[in-house]
Structure formats: structure tokens, C-alpha cells
Structure 1
Amino acid sequence: MSFSNISILHYLANIIDILVVWFVIYKLIMLIRGTKAVQLLKGIFIIIAVKIISSFLGLQTVEWITDQALTWGFLAIIIIFQPELRRALETLGRGNIFMRIGSRIEKEQHQIVDAIIDSTKYMSKRRIGALISIAKDTGMEDYIETGIPLHARISSQLLINIFIPNTPLHDGAVIIKGNEIASAASYLPLSDSPYLSKELGTRHRAALGISEVTDSLTVVVSEETGGISVTKSGELFRDVSEERLREILEKELVKLPEKKTTFFSKWLGGGKK
């Protein structure tokens, strides 16, 4: 092998190395958005900034304190996020990462779509206000914690019952995570968008607000008109028909089965088609 070939391979290895690190960092950022880890990350950046400034100005005591904070901070992170790390290791140990995405999973996903459509159609006809947010890759634990934990199997009957007026759980949002209803009566951040129509109420503003800070998909049923709206990526789609709603939900939530899903294919592509 010539020297030029070795150099090319070396450059390719460096490029792949950078891309892999960049992708891992990107995935981690997407996972912690909307969680308490964001505040922790901001704190770490502040400490690093203080260390750089103190080093530049020659503030030895401040620099020593920041060095200690960074040194012992990693241990503190492990302690603080011990439950999350344990769940991740348990998932790895069970081999769930290597599971195939088969017909059973696809069937469950279609059942979730049907439950959401059936419930929204029922509530739309009777003008029952509803707010259903479906978590995807971005963490929504902070918003789930503001509501009443349910961890219940998704069904149209349960969704309808939650939003019946004058019941304890009807106020706030239902958050769906995975194949279960994680919480009800949860509070979502309100959008400050000046372009949002004044005739739209708190539900629509909350639906748009959560779509601005996470990659979630949110369905709203208007209590005044019975109209169905969908928000995603900071956009609001009003008066969505049943057919259009099904099209959006299936596109966003249903993953087509693959013959085999390995760790690398699932990590690089998220198992999506």
C-alpha cells in the first residue's frame, strides 16, 4: 500500500470519527430537550465559561474552584441520573436494541392511530375540548411530571373519558409516550407566537408551544367549534379532516416492518422508513 493510500485512509478515518461523535452529540441533545438535563447542561457551560474567564484574568482561586466542580461534577451527574442510566443498561441487557420491528409492533402502532382518530372524531362531534401530545424522540419527562401519571394502555374509550367536562383529568394535556398514556392533566408551555389567531384558546397555544420546544405531534379538539387541529415543528394545521389526520398520524407514528433491525441500523436511522 502506497503512502498516498495510507494518507487517504487516515483522512477518511478522521472524517468518520468526527461524524460519529457529532451524531452521538446530536442524538443526546435531542433526547434531553424538554427535560431537566437541559438546565444541568447550561450549568456545565456556565462553569466552563467561568473557568476560561478566570484563567484569562489570572483568578487562581476561582479557577481552582471551577476545576474541582468539573472534576467531581461527572460523579454527581452519575448519581443524579442513576435511574435513567440503570434503565438504559437494563434495556441493553434485555437485548431490546436488537429486536426486530415486526408485524406485532406495526399492529400496535395502527391501534394507537385508530384510538386517537376514534376519540377525536367522537369528541369533535360533541365539541368536547381535548389536547393530546404524542412524544417522539425528544424527552418530555418534565411535562409528564406536571400531570397525573397513568401509564395506561391507549384506547379511544379512555381518551374520551379523560376529556369529559367537569371530571378531574379533563383540564390539561394527555401525553402519549411509546405505546401508553403516560399522563393526563399535564401542563404544556404556551406559545408566544404573535401570528397565532386571537380566536384560538389556550389549548391551541399550548399545542403550538410544545411543538416549538420538542419534536412531538399534538392533536387539538376545539371546544368552541369541534374543529381538529395538529401541531408539529412549530406549525399549526387547522380544521384537519379525518382522512388527513390519519395520513399525518400514520406518517409520523407507524414504522414499517423490516426484515432485520440491528443496533447500527436502528441507531443511525431510528428504525424509520
Structure 2
Amino acid sequence: MAFLVFRLLKLIRGTRAWRILGGVVAFVVVWAGAEFFGLQTLAWLMKQLVPVAPFAIALLLLPELRAMLEGFGRIGLIPQLLVRPSGAIGDSTIESIVSVSMDLASKHVGALLVIERGASLHEIVASGVPLGAPVTKELLGSIFYGSNPLHDGAAVIRGDLLVAAACRLPLSDNPRIDPRLHLRHRAGIGVTEALDCVSVIVSEERGIVTIASNGEYHRANTAAEMRRLLEERLRNQPKDEEREPRWKRKERRNGQGGEAA
């Protein structure tokens, strides 16, 4: 039970659910204070609110409840035998992703790639246009230029196949994300908060590449750095920083002023 509570608190930290939890704690403290000091009117009013409170909280937290259930599957509370693994990604596919991302960034062309890592991204794929073509630099590059009707949304990669394009992604509402980041980044980060995947975000404004996974994001300044970040996240070789608890990583980065991407 303690493990489940710890996982739950870890999932909601920094979200709207975390702030609502603080409100619930404040409500209980005020109610207890009213009872203790004999404030009968206030205590009666607080008592009348109790029956409707669960319904109000559930309505406010519908998006977070869904993300929490998806997150339990991602962090390993659901046995891996129940999760269909993705195909392994090859060196040539990683090289194509790195090459096209750096090329698009140098030309200030925006792009968003989502790479399946654990469980299937079926819902994301279903929201876009199915393709099922081998990943190549030329194919990826052709999708994200403005004249292509598929350039809006994300392209999804499973193993060495480009399975869909123009896919819709959930947006992150994490207040800790750099406010300078816009919709493309919030979508790329948001999908990794909800599902087991890695996203590659190319900013058309700044011409930079960002890699996101597990709700965390890092800028890739060079092709070599991007290749390393992808291999660490796609081949289960996390660096020491990623072994830290997420709350500790957040506090360390906040203390350094954050990492703009």
C-alpha cells in the first residue's frame, strides 16, 4: 500500500491534481480547527460540503485520472507479459532520425516524431494517417515541409517502420515546463507523460532539437549528442541522471534555472 501511495504522489507531483490535493488537506485542517475551537456554523458548513466533494474532485481530475491509469502501466505496475513490446529499432533508423532532425533544425522547419518504446501507441496511431513504410531520411523530411498535408501533427515510428503521420498528441499541462515552449513541445512532452515512448521535437523558431521521455526533456545540440540521447532511451541504457527519482531531477534542474529547449 505504501508503494502505491508513493507511486501515486510521484505521478501527480507538479500537476493540477497536486494542487487539488493541497486544497483537500487545507479543507480538512480548517474543518478540524472549526470543530476544535467550537465554530459550529463553519463546522456545519464544512460537513455539508463533504458528500459532494468526491464528485467535484472527480470532475476536476478526469484528465489526470486517465493519465494516472496510463502511468501505472508505464512504470511497471502492470506485468510486462500483458504489454505487447515494440519492434527493436535499428542503427540505420536512429541515424535517419538524427540526420533528418538536424537537417530540419538547420532550416528552421518544425517537426515532431514519436518513437514507440514499450506499450503500443495504438490510440495515437489511429488519430493520424496510416503509412507503414520503412523509415528513411528522405521520407521523414518530405513529411514535415509545409506543402505536405501530413506535416501537421506527429509522425509515429515503431521499430524501423513509419506507421503513421499527422497524429494528434495529448498536451502537457505541467506548470514546470519552460513557459517559452509552445504547443509542439507541450505535445511532444505530454505524450511521454502518458505513454511509454520517446519524442523528438524540432523547433522551427529556434532551430533546435529536443528529446523527451517520461515527461523529461533535454536539448540535443549536436548530432552526436542526439544519437546518444536516443540510444540511451530506446535501448534501455539509462544514464546515471535518469536513475535518480524524478522529483530529485526536477529540483536539481530548477535550482540551475531549468533547461530551455
Q: Does 1:213 align with 2:194?
A: yes
2:177 pairs with 196, 204, 211, which one?
Answer: 196
Give the alignment partner of residue 138 of structure 1, picking from 91, 111, 119. 119
Task: Describe the superposition over 1:197-233 as per-residue Cα deviations: whole angstroms up to 9, x where unpaired.
Answer: 2221111000110110112011000010111001001
Secondary structure at the aligned position of 1:218 is classed as strand
Q: Which runs of 5+ in 1 are unaligned?
A: 1-22, 33-95, 97-104, 257-273
1:77-226 pair list within 5 angstroms: 109-226=90-207
Aligned to 1:243: 224
Q: For 1:175 and 1:255, locate their aligned partners in 2 and report how far apart those are by CA, in whole Å.
A: 19
Match of 2:80 in 1: 27
Shift of 1:177: 0.8
Determine the structure 2 residue equivalent to 1:232: 213
Q: CA deviation at 1:29?
A: 5.7
Q: What CA distance in whole angstroms lies between the structure 2 residues aligned with 1:24 and 1:222?
A: 35
Contact 2:211 2:218 (8 Å CA) reproduced: yes
Contact 2:90 2:159 in 1 (8 A): no
| AA of the residue aligned to 1:181 | L
Amino acid at match of 1:120: S
SS at match of 2:79: helix
Report sequence identity in percent: 32
Q: Report the AA paired with residue 27 of structure 1.
A: Q
CA contact (8 A) 1:174 1:186 kept: yes
Taking the aligned partners of 1:186 and 1:223, their CA distance within structure 2 comes to 19
Alignment-derived partner of residue 99 in structure 1 = none
Amino acid paired to 2:101 = T
Q: TM-score scaled by structure 1?
A: 0.55
C-alpha separation between the residues in 1 aligned to 2:225 and 2:219? 11
Structure 1 contact 230–240 (Cα < 8 Å) conserved = no
Query: Structure 1 CA distance, aligned partners of 2:114 and 2:95?
Result: 15
> What is the alpha-carbon distance in structure 2 between the residues aligned to residue 226 and residue 252 of structure 1?
23
Contact 2:109–2:144 (Cα < 8 Å) also in 1 = yes
1:109–1:254: 8 Å Cα contact kept in structure 2? no
Contact 1:150 1:184 in 2 (8 A): yes
Cα distance, 1:31 vs. partner? Answer: 4.6
Secondary structure (helix, strand or coil) at the match of 1:165 reads coil
Q: Classify the secondary structure of the residue corresponding to 1:138.
A: coil
Aligned-residue offset at 1:25: 4.5
Deviation at 1:238, TM superposition (A): 2.6
Residues 175 and 182 in structure 1, CA contact (< 8 A), matched pair in contact too: yes
Sort the Cα spacing of 1:130 and 1:29 in 2 relative to 1 into closer, same or farther, 3 A. same
Aligned residue number for residue 18 of structure 1: none
* 1:131–1:174 Cα contact (<8 Å) kept: yes
RMSD: 2.5
Question: Which has the larger Rg?
Answer: 1
Alignment size in residue pairs: 161
3-state DSSP of counterpart to 1:119:
helix
Query: If each structure's helix is expressed as a fraction of its own residues, which one has the higher value?
Result: 1
- Give the alignment's TM-score, normalised by structure 2: 0.57
Return the alpha-carbon distance in structure 2 between the equivalents of residues 28 and 146 of structure 1.
26
Deviation at 1:237, TM superposition (A): 1.1
Partner of 1:41: none
Distance 1:147 1:169 in 2: 9
Counterparts of 1:24 and 1:188 in 2: how far apart (Å)? Answer: 24
How far apart are 1:252 and its partner, in Å?
A: 3.1
1:152-192 Cα distance to aligned partner (Å, 9 max, x none): 01000000000001320000000001210010000010001
